[in-house]
Structure formats: C-alpha cells, structure tokens
Structure 1
Amino acid sequence: MDVGEVFEDAFSRVAEEVHAVVEGLSIERLEARPGPGANSIAWLVWHLTRVQDDHVADVAGRRQVWTAEGWHERFALPLPAEDTGFGHTSAEVARVSGLSGEQLTGYYDAVHARTVDYVRTLAPDDLDRVVDTAWDPPVTLGVRLVSVIGDDHQHVGQAAYVRGLLEAR
C-alpha cells in the first residue's frame, strides 16, 4: 500500500461515517440539538466538511469546493463564504439550518472526491513539506493531513453520538 492509498482509505472511512450518520434523518432531526449550546448533526457534518475542504485545498494549492463549485450559494447560509465553523458561538451554530442529508452528503462527497484526487498524487517525500509556519514546530503536509482526518473522525463521532441521544428520546 502506498502513501496515497493510506490517506485515501482514511478519508474514505470518514465518508462512510458521514453517510451513515445522516441517513434517513429529517431536516428537523439534523438541526436538533441535545442541549443548550450543543452542536447539531447538520452543523457537525457541515463543519467537518468545511475544515477538510479548507485545509486540503490549501495544501493542494486549489480553490475550495465550497466556493469553486457553488456550494456556498446552494446552502445559502447566513455566514461568510470563508467561514469553516471554527470557534462558532451557539447562535452561529444555529445558522447552519435548512439543510437536508442529501445536501450535506453531496457537499461532503464533492470534497471527498477532490481530497482523494489530491492524496493519490502523494509520494512519501511529499509528507515532509512544510505547509504552515505559524506553528512551532512548523506543520508538515503529513501532520496536516493526519490532523484533518483526526478532526473529521472526532466530529463525525460526535454527530453519531448526537444521533444516538436523539433516537433514545
């Protein structure tokens, strides 16, 4: 298995979980929040997709799917186009609304396809390329991709937990 195949497998596991967590849910269930200030499934899936789109587009030197393919306009969220959800307040989380499971997985699938296209091109030496000097130590491509995968898994796991709470009610 080569480097690209390892990253493709890791991101594909996220894709499977994203589909599983939203499957069959109404917009109301996707927007439900299990407590005051909690995140909804819709927000969690939108956010993990936005972060993946933002971070992978940056390291690949490409435009984000969100704006390049018109997802920002299709979602019509009252948020700036560059918003990824990082640091959102409860009120901002509530703005991620009116989205169907099909919209959420459609955007995720478009980001996933772009991500896989990129990671398939990687060779082992690519992983040592510094992609962010704002940190000490500077962040390499390998570290950035592992970070995105970890963040994606945490957020999709949170979404699955929220779904479980909602279904238990």
Structure 2
Amino acid sequence: MTSADLLVDAFGRIREIVHATVDGLSEDQLTYRPGDDANSIAWLVWHLTRIQDDHVAGVAGTEQVWPKWADRFGLPFDQRDTGYGHRSADVAAVRVPAELLTAYHDETCERSLEYLRQITDADLDRIVDRRWDPPVTLGVRLVSVVSDDLQHAGQAAFVRGLLPG
C-alpha cells in the first residue's frame, strides 16, 4: 500500500460516515441541536466539507468546489467562510436538505481523491505553509484534514444518535 492509497482510504472513510449519518434525515433532524450552543449535523457536515474543499484545493493548486455550490446553499456567509469561529447563530443558519449536503461532500471528496491518487511519498515532504514553526508539509496538512474531518463526522454521528423519537 502506498501513501496515496492510505490517504484515499482515509478520505473515503470520511465520505462513508457522512452518508451513514446524513442519509434519510429531514431538515429538522439535520438542524437538531442537543444544546443551545451545540453544533447540528448540517453545520458539522457543511464545515468538515468546507475544510476539506479549502485545504485540499489549496495544496493541489486548484479551485475549490464551493463557489458552484454556494448559491444553492444560500448561506449568509462570505464565500471564503469555512465555519471556523462560527457562533451559535451561524450554526443555526445552516439549514439545507440532506441531498444537498451529501452532493457537495461527494463532489469535494471526488476532487480530493483525484489529487490524492497522483501524489507520491516524496510529495508529502513538500512545504505547503510557512506561517508555522516548523513549516507545514503536505503530509501534515493532509493528515490534519483527515483528523479534523473524522472528528466532525463522528460528532455528527453522535448527534444523530441523540435525535428525539
């Protein structure tokens, strides 16, 4: 197994969790929040997909998928917004159907997989962000995306388990 194979598998697992969590839910279920300031399934999936879209496009040197989806979502955020630093009212603003969430996630995942399939082990040492000390390599950035996305996907699955009734 190559590093590319490992990363493709990891990103594919994120997609599996997203679908298992979102498929079949109504907008009311997707926006259910177990506490006043808790994140909803809709917000968590939108945010994890925005992070993947933003970060992978950034290291791949490609355009993000989000601009063609932003109007369909109709969110009151700047198009560059990924959800980082959102407050309770921002979380509540993410109200969209399950099919829209998974379609955006699927396109983002496919774009990510296209890029991941062609990277080599040597590529993983490439510096992609010098704003940190030590500078961030491609490998570290991709593992960071996997980690963040799996955490948020797990949180969304947990919220699904708390759905009333």
**TM-score category by the smaller chain?**
over 0.9
Superposed CA RMSD in Å reads 0.8
Whether the 8 Å contact between 1:32 and 1:41 is mirrored in structure 2 is yes
Q: Deviations over 1:3-58 (max 9, x none)?
A: 21111000000000000000111000001111010000000000000000000000
d(CA) in 2 for partners of 1:158 and 1:145?
20
Q: Following superposition of structure 1 onto structure 2, how do residues 53-132 of structure 1 map, counting pairs within 5 Å?
A: 53-67=53-67, 70-97=68-95, 99-132=96-129
Identity %: 59
- What runs of 5+ residues in structure 1 fail to find an aligned partner? none
User: What is the TM-score of this pair, normalised by structure 1?
Assistant: 0.96
Q: Does 1:155 align with 2:163?
A: no
User: What is the TM-score of this pair, normalised by structure 2?
Assistant: 0.98
Whether the 8 Å contact between 1:42 and 1:96 is mirrored in structure 2 is yes
Q: Which runs of 4+ in 1 moved over 2 A?
A: none
- Which letter maps to 2:71? E
d(CA) in 2 for partners of 1:14 and 1:114?
14
Within the candidate set 131, 135, 139, 2:132 is matched to 135
Q: Which residue of 2 aligns with 1:14?
A: 14
Q: How many corresponding residue pairs?
A: 165
Q: Does 1:3 align with 2:3?
A: yes
- What runs of 5+ residues in structure 2 fail to find an aligned partner? none
